[in-house]
């Protein structure tokens, strides 16, 4: 029982340290390849600690061997969540489908712009509209030089028809 209590405590400690580190570096998607470095790094670090303890306190060797696996999984998970957090701070997206075409509206929170793209086949899309997004309460006004759309209560208004509303699906990361 003592072993499992130590594992739980060490896991909590690892979680706190890894999450604080991930939060500090605030990883963006361009460095997602870093997971191939950071996961093995925490595994190797725990294995080195286990090796050092093999010569000093052998009762902790098994603990750090187990922890090497747990820390690797935590690093993989928390690094991915850090990238999601980075994206959610900067972007929000909605999608809808008309006939055989999927449309995606992406709002850039940093500069209050939007872009709209369409896709007829999975894996490819074409951007066709960019403009300014103005947020007023719970409504978003998407404007260009010639058009204005409104997003209100997860519905898009004025797309192709003044009285037509389209249910939007919020894209969650």
Local confidence pLDDT in tens for the 173 residues of the chain: 799 999 999 999 999 999 999 999 999 999 999 999 999 999 999 999 999 999 998 889 999 999 999 999 999 999 999 999 999 999 999 999 998 999 999 999 999 999 999 999 888 899 999 999 999 999 999 999 999 999 999 999 999 888 889 999 999 87
161 is a domain residue? yes
Q: Is the domain of 77 the same as that of 106?
A: no
Instruction: Quote the number of domains for the chain.
Output: 2
Task: Give the neighbor-by-neighbor strand order of the sheet with 148-152.
Answer: 165-167, 155-157, 148-152, 139-143, 126-136, 113-119, 101-108, 91-98, 169-171
Q: Is the domain of 120 the same as that of 52?
A: no
Strand-pair category, 165-167 with 169-171: unpaired
Q: Which two tokens stand for residue 13?
A: 């400690």
Please report how the helices 61-90 and 35-56 are oriented relative to each other, as an axis angle in degrees rounded to 10: 160
Q: What is the pTM of this model?
A: 0.80
Q: Is the domain of 84 the same as that of 145?
A: no
């Amino acid at each position: 029982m003592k072993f499992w209590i130590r594992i739980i405590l060490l896991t909590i400690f690892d979680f706190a340290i890894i999450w604080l580190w991930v939060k500090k570096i605030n990883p963006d998607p361009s460095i997602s390849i870093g997971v191939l470095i950071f996961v093995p790094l925490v595994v190797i670090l725990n294995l080195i600690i286990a090796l050092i303890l093999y010569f000093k306190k052998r009762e902790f060797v098994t603990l750090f061997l187990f922890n090497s696996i747990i820390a690797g999984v935590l690093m993989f998970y928390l690094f991915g969540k850090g990238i999601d957090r980075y994206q959610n701070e900067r972007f929000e997206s909605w999608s809808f489908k008309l006939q055989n075409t999927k449309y995606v509206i992406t709002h850039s929170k940093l500069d209050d712009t939007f872009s709209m793209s369409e896709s007829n086949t999975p894996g490819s899309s074409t951007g066709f509209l960019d403009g300014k997004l103005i947020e007023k309460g719970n409504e978003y006004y998407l404007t260009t030089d010639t058009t204005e759309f409104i997003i209100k209560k997860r519905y898009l208004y004025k797309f192709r028809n003044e009285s037509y509303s389209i249910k939007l699906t919020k894209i969650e990361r």
